[in-house]
């Protein structure tokens, strides 16, 4: 209904008495007054994420990056200025490119220069009193805060995925262009050999970690019941070794071993991985409510900074094909030397490599003889380098022509990186019925989980023998056991000559060499000779062959 506009005594239309007394549209001076408080934006200490309040940002740093400001405040008894120094120190380190600042000691940030804000108008500095005015420990996360953290995690994962796609596109584009080496050569500036080697090694390393970003490889490992059950059984059956302890999981993958340790009562588990799978591990930990115990850290163990100076236990599933393919044990040894306490425990504790001769094998027929007649065609040209490749296959134990023998035994508490490049002898007796031709060798490994540093394994003992005699948790990747995802390494001889009969001995040496520029691959040399039964007077000449495992 329209308002009345009857003229007043002066003949003017007066509507003021009918206007809304709270309407300030025409009032002067009111437009400068802020109606609402401006929202606060808190920038994360360790990445580019932003948050509406300091509490959720600090919780993000704690759960995503393992940086617990509440714990540091309590540990170092920090007052307000101490917190300011800590914040500015962390921001300065991150700005300089260090995504894992060292916060192991108060002295690293106890400097007046850190009172100067690194980030202009840093809202966090004005919020510190509000965050810490009550308890030094954060209150339990509300459902909304939990959802906010999950969203932040998903955003981080999407950013990582987008970066991977962009890198893949750039790599494809660069491959279609003339290489920098070709351009440099054309311009008369030949690249240095060392530069080329470093570049290849870095790319090989990058590809290695990239391969562990996908589900398939982790699915095959977790579904490997022999492997996963052994770790679970050792951890759960010996909870006293993990109760209230600090555990480091090197190459944590999906986080399954870290979660085993957390369930066993560990006080803190630091899960480290340099591949994109760490984001999935973080989600897995959160989904199982273990984020207060398991802290996920991305990066190489040689480069990250852990939140503790020492750990009580190092757990790792580092084994590759033929045990040492991928060279991950190098990183585990580094972690042991830098972080493991003097009386700390390695899980697993021991490993052995075993070798046995091969005869009457279907593998020779399927991998070698196959090319001699392919749909009626002679395709033996394909055999040029067929014998140079080490095969990863499951071997029937009936194809073994002799008992296996150990040619390398590692005590993981004492093994050095230099021990992983070696030449070691072996000798075994031919046990196959009748006279047979030696077609190759089979190599596999056994793993042992001892409960103390002083507990060893008898020399040459197999996993099955150790389990039966000592009760130690073990598993084997050999033909006599249930197949694992590692299978066995098969080394087919290029020119299988020489007949062996029962009682003959076969002796030789096995050499493991890392490939220059591709240290995660292996060259494996085997030399062998035969000594006939009855005194060994008749000896054949020593034969030698190299195989590539990459």
Domain ranges of the chain: 42-132, 214-317, 350-549
Residue 179: what pLDDT? Answer: 43
Q: What is residue 216's predicted lDDT score, i.e. its pLDDT? A: 62
Burial of 216 (0-12, 13-18, 19+ CB in 10 A): exposed
Q: Is residue 103 pLDDT above 60, yes or no?
A: yes
Q: How large is the angle between the packed helices 80-95 and 69-76, nearest 10 degrees? A: 130
Helices (H), 264-399: 277-287, 328-339, 362-367
As given in the structure block, the two tokens for residue 421 are 């490049």
Q: When comparing pLDDT for 426 and 515, which is higher?
A: 426
Confidence label for 211 from pLDDT (cuts 50, 70 and 90): very low
Which tokens is 115 given? 């009172």
**How large a percentage of the chain has pLDDT more than 90?**
42
pLDDT at 27 over 90: no
CB atoms within 10 A of CB 34: 6
**Residue 467 DSSP SS3:** helix
DSSP H or E stretch at residue 256: helix 256-263
Q: Is the pLDDT of residue 171 over 90?
A: no
Cα angle at 257 between 254 and 290, to 5 degrees?
Answer: 80
Query: Which of 162-166, 308-312, 332-336 is least confident?
Result: 162-166
Residues whose CB is less than 8 angstroms from the CB of residue 291 and which lie 6 or more positions away in sequence, other chains included: 63, 285
514 pLDDT band, cuts 50/70/90, is confident
**250, 251, 253, 257 alpha-carbon torsion, rounded to 10°:** -30
Neighbours of 284 (CB within 10 A): 21
**φ, ψ of residue 220 in degrees (nearest 5):** -65, -35
Q: How far apart are CA 65 and CA 298, in angstroms?
A: 8
Residue 159: how many CB atoms within 10 A of its CB?
Answer: 13
Query: Which two structure tokens, joined as six digits, stand for 160?
Result: 């990582």
pLDDT at 1 (0 to 100): 43
CA pseudo-torsion sign 83, 89, 92, 96: negative
pLDDT of residue 142: 54
Average model confidence (pLDDT) across the chain: 80
Burial classification of residue 178, based on how many CB atoms lie within 10 Å of its CB (0-12 exposed, 13-18 middle, 19 or more buried): exposed
Question: Is residue 163 annotated as part of the catalytic site, yes or no?
Answer: no
31-60 pLDDT, tens per residue?
444 444 557 789 999 988 898 888 888 988
Least confident of 47-56, 201-210, 363-372: 201-210
Enter the tokens of residue 514.
Answer: 């890392």
Structure tokens at 77: 């008894």
Mean pLDDT of the region 261-289: 94
Rounded CA separation 197/31 (Å): 68
Per-residue pLDDT, 131 = 78
Q: In the chain, what is the straight-line distance between the N-terminal and C-terminal CA atoms, in Å?
A: 87
- Rounded to whole angstroms, the Cα distance separating 498 from 438 reads 7
Query: Looking at the predicted structure, is the pLDDT value of residue 530 above 60?
Result: yes
Q: Residue 121, by phi and psi: left (phi above 0), alpha (psi -120 to 50) or beta?
A: left
Give the active site residue among 149, 283, 326, 439.
326
Q: How far is CA 543 from the centre of its chain?
A: 39
Between CA 337 and CA 208, with CA 303 as vertex, the angle to 5 degrees is 100
Whether pLDDT at 245 is above 70: yes
Task: Tell me the two tokens of residue 38.
Answer: 């401006």
Write the DSSP string, 489-511.
EEEE-SS---EE-TT-EEEEEEE
* 316 in Cβ contact with 256 (< 8 Å): no
Residue 169 is encoded by which pair of tokens? 């596109």
In the chain, the percentage of residues whose pLDDT exceeds 70 is 74
The 10s digit of each residue's pLDDT in 114-168 is: 888 988 888 888 888 777 764 444 444 455 555 555 555 555 555 555 555 555 5
Which CATH number is associated with domain 350-549? 2.70.160.11
CA distance 59 to 38: 23
6: pLDDT strictly greater than 60: no
Q: Which range scores top for mean pLDDT: 57-66, 306-315, 468-477?
A: 306-315
Which of 149, 317, 399, 439 is the catalytic position?
317
Produce one character per residue of 253-278: b if its CB has 16 or more CB atoms within 10 Å, e if not: bbbbbbbbbbbbebebbbbbbbbbbb
When pLDDT is averaged across residues 356-360 and rounded to a whole number, the result is 90
Whether 134 contacts 52, CB under 8 Å: no
Cβ(427)–Cβ(497) under 8 Å? no
What is the distance between the alpha carbons of residues 179 and 482, in angstroms, rounded to a whole number? 48
pLDDT: which is higher, 160 or 86: 86
Q: Is the pLDDT of residue 65 over 70?
A: yes
51 pairs with which residues across the strands?
A: 42
Lowest mean pLDDT among 21-35, 86-100, 259-273, 359-373: 21-35
Question: Is pLDDT of 358 > 70?
Answer: yes
Q: In this predicted structure, what is the pLDDT of residue 250?
A: 96
Average pLDDT over residues 424-446: 89
- What pLDDT does residue 212 have? 43
Q: What is the mean pLDDT of residues 505-521?
A: 83
Lowest mean pLDDT among 181-185, 320-324, 368-372: 181-185
Q: What is the pLDDT of residue 214?
A: 46
* 75 is known as an active-site residue: no
Nearest of 386, 393, 394 to residue 368 by alpha carbon: 386
Q: How far is Cα 526 from Cα 546, in angstroms, rounded to an integer? A: 7
Per DSSP, the three-state class of 88 is: helix
Residue whose pair of structure tokens reads 């850190």 in the numeric block: 114
pLDDT confidence bin for 410, thresholds 50/70/90: very high
Report the CATH number of the 214-317 domain. Answer: 3.40.50.150
Cross-strand partners of 353? 408, 445
CA separation, residue 91 to residues 48, 119, 323 (Å): 11, 8, 42
What is the distance between the alpha carbons of residues 312 and 245, in angstroms, rounded to a whole number? 6
Q: What is the DSSP letter of 4?
A: P
Helices (H) and strands (E) in the chain, counts: 14, 19
pLDDT of residue 386: 78
């Amino acid at each position: 209904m329209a308002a009345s506009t009857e003229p007043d005594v002066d003949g003017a239309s007066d509507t003021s008495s009918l206007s809304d007394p709270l309407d300030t549209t025409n009032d002067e001076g009111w437009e400068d007054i802020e109606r609402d408080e401006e929202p606060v934006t808190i920038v994360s200490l360790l990445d580019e994420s932003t948050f509406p309040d300091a509490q959720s940002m600090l919780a993000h740093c704690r759960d995503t990056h393992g940086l617990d400001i509440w714990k540091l405040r309590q540990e170092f008894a920090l007052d307000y200025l101490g917190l300011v120094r800590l914040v500015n120190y962390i921001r300065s380190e991150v700005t300089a490119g260090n995504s894992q600042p060292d916060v192991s000691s108060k002295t690293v940030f106890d400097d007046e220069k850190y009172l100067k804000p690194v980030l202009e108008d840093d809202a966090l500095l004005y919020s510190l009193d509000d965050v810490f005015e009550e308890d030094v420990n954060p209150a339990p996360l509300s459902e909304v805060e939990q959802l906010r953290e999950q969203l932040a995690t998903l955003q981080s994962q999407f950013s990582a995925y987008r970066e991977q796609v962009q890198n893949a596109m750039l790599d494809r584009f660069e491959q279609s262009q003339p290489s920098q080496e070709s351009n440099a050569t054309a311009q008369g500036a030949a690249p240095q050999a060392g530069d080329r080697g470093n570049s290849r090694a870095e790319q090989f390393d990058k590809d290695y970690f990239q391969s562990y970003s996908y589900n398939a490889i982790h699915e095959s490992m977790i579904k490997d019941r022999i492997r996963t059950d052994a770790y679970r059984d050792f951890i759960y059956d010996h909870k006293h070794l993990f109760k209230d302890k600090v555990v480091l999981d090197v190459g944590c993958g999906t986080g399954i071993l870290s979660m085993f340790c957390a369930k066993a009562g560990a006080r803190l588990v630091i899960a480290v991985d340099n591949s994109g799978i760490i984001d999935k591990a973080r989600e897995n930990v959160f989904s199982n409510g273990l984020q207060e115990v398991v802290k996920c850290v991305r990066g190489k163990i040689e480069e990250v900074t852990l939140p503790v100076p020492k750990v009580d236990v190092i757990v790792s599933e580092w084994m590759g094909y033929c045990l040492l393919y991928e060279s991950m044990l190098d990183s585990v040894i580094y972690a042991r030397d830098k972080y493991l306490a003097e009386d700390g425990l390695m899980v697993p504790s021991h490993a052995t490599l075993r070798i046995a001769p091969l005869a009457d094998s279907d593998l020779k027929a399927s991998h070698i003889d196959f090319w001699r007649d392919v749909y009626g065609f002679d395709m033996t040209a394909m055999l040029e380098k067929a014998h140079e490749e080490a095969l990863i296959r499951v071997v029937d134990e009936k194809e073994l022509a002799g008992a296996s023998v150990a040619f390398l035994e590692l005590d993981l508490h004492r093994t050095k990186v230099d021990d992983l490049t070696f030449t070691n002898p072996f000798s075994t007796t031919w046990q196959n019925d009748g006279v047979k031709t030696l077609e190759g060798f089979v190599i596999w490994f056994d793993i042992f989980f001892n409960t103390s540093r002083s507990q060893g394994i008898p020399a040459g003992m197999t996993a099955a023998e150790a389990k039966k005699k000592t009760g130690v948790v073990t598993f084997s990747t050999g033909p006599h056991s249930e197949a694992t995802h590692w299978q066995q390494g098969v080394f087919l001889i290029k020119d299988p000559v020489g007949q062996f009969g029962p009682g003959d001995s076969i002796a030789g040496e096995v050499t493991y060499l890392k490939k220059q520029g591709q240290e995660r691959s292996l060259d494996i040399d085997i030399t062998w000779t035969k000594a006939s039964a009855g005194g060994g007077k008749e000896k054949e000449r020593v034969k030698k062959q190299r195989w590539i495992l990459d």
